[in-house]
Structure 1
Amino acid sequence: MSKDAYTAAVTRYSRTPYRRVGRSGVLLPPISLGFWQNFGENRDPWQLRTIVRRAFDLGVTHFDLANNYGPPPGSAETHVGRILEQDFRAHRDELIVSTKAGYQMWEGPYGDGGSRKYLLSSLDQSLGRLGLDYVDIFYHHREDPHTPLEETMGALAHAVRSGRALYAGISNYSPEKTRQAARILADLGTPLLIHQPSYSMFNRHIENGLLETVDELGVGLAAFSPLQQGLLTNRYMYGVPSSSRAAGSSSSLSERQVKDPDYQTRVRGLSEVAHARGQSLAQLALAWALRHPQVSTALVGASSVHQLEQNIETLTNLEFTAEELATIDRFAIDGTAAR
């Protein structure tokens, strides 16, 4: 692959079974490329560029970011902006680029939360880092109990009306707040397109009402952390590799979690199911998260082209028997290895 020129694969749309987002006109690939914790300044820019190129060649048209992705915050958007400029200027209309705001980004009272001031300032900063005139989806990243929901949704609606975003989304919202947000946005003439919750075999909270809520509202779901930060891979079945996230100082995964006896029992049981299906544990976990029709896409990171390709290979085997699902339920226990 040349470092100077990129020609997109002519076969990029030949195998991907794109999914409709709720009752909208938007289609997303079942597996999308997310940039949380894996596109920071500590990564080789050329390696990142090869991952994004390969993703697009495999039909991945959705790149998911947030203002605070990195590390440090903002660096993922800077990396992706550079890649978009180098390789994807001719393909901008083939891409869905999303970003979010809701966690702390800068000092002072206006750099966090859900205020109109913070959200619109953050969006302008994100557009600058990405080198784009607009993002396709702009999310509020988390509920803010200190800001009226009307103000937060009003900011999202304004972002759409101003042309800085095409669609509005929310992330990490409860079913009740999702209904309220959708109602406010509808009144403002900006439908809620999509909700982005965490969802995996070890984090099943969306099965307690959110799936039914988005189905009723006609809103799509983008599931993040379907591999539970690597816990639903074979990476931690035989100890903690020195290069792994759990061996370091990451705030999202600890060595204690991966050494938990319940986790070890369950991950080995799930691995046996995966082996019987001819899949890796990660592929099983992705297919399982995608089994609900409400799930428009599952967001995955990738540290290498090979890892990306293995994740995309999941799409060749998405069907489950009733017996497989029953066996999975014995091991897919909500709260496993929770902090």
Structure 2
Amino acid sequence: MDYRRAGKSGILLPAISLGLWHNFGDVDSLARSKDKLHYAFDHGITHFDLANNYGPSAGSAEETFGKIMKTSFAPYRDELFVSTKAGHDMWPGPYGTWGSRKHLTASLNQSLKRMNLDYVDIFYSHRYDPETPLEETLQTLVDIVRQGKALYVGISKYPPEAARKAYAYLKDHDVICLLYQGRYNLLNREPEEQGILQQAAENGSGFVAFSPLAQGLLTNRYLKGIPEDSRIARGGFLKKEALTEDLLQKIIRLDRLACERGQSLAEMSLAWLLAHPLVTSVIVGASSVEQLADNLKALENISFSQEEQQTIQAILQ
């Protein structure tokens, strides 16, 4: 495993991290979840990314992690880097979502119980709250660190102006904003286009990319149509309308380039992110040990020639 420094800090994160957004909830097999988590750790993945509402059902991914933490990971706690987040819908009522002090504090307390942890390594504000004063959200993050419930804090999906204020506030209060977590892949370049990657680097924060395979679009899964068991077919976050004929042709051309490189489309898509000097870590999901093993193959070749980069750019124009 390649370990990369997170911004201007003492933390080293694995180039590939494991996210528990899907496939680790109470609708999934505990034994399969355990196999995937063990395989990840045995292959150098020390960073496990969670959030309060990951599952399904909400909270169950943290419960799954907590069971495995108690039964097998406990002796290795000091080798693990565990993150969780709050800010999206978690429970009914006015305090079950967004960025108030009450929601963030209550949510983290619940997360620690579910995961059988005394503290998390990093706690994120999962999204910018346009209604709650930003100072309230940020001061809560400061207090969470001072209470010893998190070693570091981070922000996720914040627009650039809100992120600028967050970096400044946390720095003024002697708390490191360790990471910015954002959606970034070959099909979504917002972190580049909005200057988010550069902004994080300038403020001493690392950048963690989630959704690196665009929820499966950047795999060979849809090259010949929509499988019945796919995310599009199930009608989840990824909608059928997203896979236009124009996009499909781009994906097919990217797949051809990947084949020329001796990689699968998924491997090349991960490698492309890992080749960026400002990307600290890439979060992958895993429905099986085999899928996780395939994703780790991306580390074998993260070099791109200038011609290959130009070809990618031309395909995605």
TM-score by length of 2: 0.98
Q: Deviations over 1:167-200 (max 9, x none)?
A: 0000001222111101111111112110000000
Q: Does 1:88 align with 2:88?
A: no
User: CA–CA distance in 2 between the matches of 1:19 and 1:319?
Assistant: 16
- 2:159 aligns to what? 174
Q: Does 1:206 align with 2:191?
A: yes
Q: Deviations over 1:38-66 (max 9, x none)?
A: 21222111011000000001000000000
Q: Deviations over 1:250-286 (max 9, x none)?
A: 1x1122323x101110000100110011100001110
Cα deviation for residue 249 of structure 1 reads: 2.5
- 1:325 aligns to what? 309
User: CA–CA distance in 2 between the matches of 1:249 and 1:199?
Assistant: 22
Letter in 2 for 1:291: A
User: CA–CA distance in 2 between the matches of 1:275 and 1:61?
Assistant: 30
Aligned residues of 2:18 and 2:45 also touching (Cα < 8 A): yes
| Segment drifting more, 310-319 vs 34-43 | 34-43
Aligned residues of 2:27 and 2:57 also touching (Cα < 8 A): no
Where 2:280 maps in the other structure, the secondary structure is strand
Q: Does 1:294 align with 2:278?
A: yes
Q: Deviations over 1:114-141 (max 9, x none)?
A: 1111101000000010010000000000
2:44 pairs, out of 48, 59, 62, with 59
Cα deviation for residue 37 of structure 1 reads: 2.0
Cα deviation for residue 221 of structure 1 reads: 0.5
User: CA–CA distance in 1 between the matches of 2:316 and 2:217?
Assistant: 12
Alignment of 1:35-74 (within 5 A): 35-74=20-59
- 2:169 aligns to what? 184
Could you list the runs of 4 or more consecutive aligned residues of structure 1 that deviate by over 4 angstroms after TM superposition? none
Give aligned pairs, total: 316
User: CA–CA distance in 2 between the matches of 1:65 and 1:220?
Assistant: 18
2:211 pairs, out of 222, 225, 249, with 225
User: CA–CA distance in 2 between the matches of 1:255 and 1:186?
Assistant: 43
Cα deviation for residue 72 of structure 1 reads: 1.0
Where 1:295 maps in the other structure, the secondary structure is coil
User: CA–CA distance in 2 between the matches of 1:73 and 1:283?
Assistant: 30
Cα deviation for residue 291 of structure 1 reads: 1.8
- 2:233 aligns to what? 247
Where 1:151 maps in the other structure, the secondary structure is helix
Q: Does 1:280 align with 2:264?
A: yes
- 1:154 aligns to what? 139
Letter in 1 for 2:247: Y
User: CA–CA distance in 2 between the matches of 1:238 and 1:157?
Assistant: 49
Gaps of 5+ in 2: none
Q: Deviations over 1:149-179 (max 9, x none)?
A: 1110111111110000000000001222111
User: CA–CA distance in 2 between the matches of 1:202 and 1:26?
Assistant: 29
Where 1:117 maps in the other structure, the secondary structure is helix
TM-score by length of 1: 0.92
2:104 pairs, out of 119, 133, 141, with 119
User: CA–CA distance in 1 between the matches of 2:134 and 2:98?
Assistant: 11
Where 2:155 maps in the other structure, the secondary structure is strand
Where 1:88 maps in the other structure, the secondary structure is helix
Letter in 1 for 2:48: F
Q: Percent identity?
A: 52
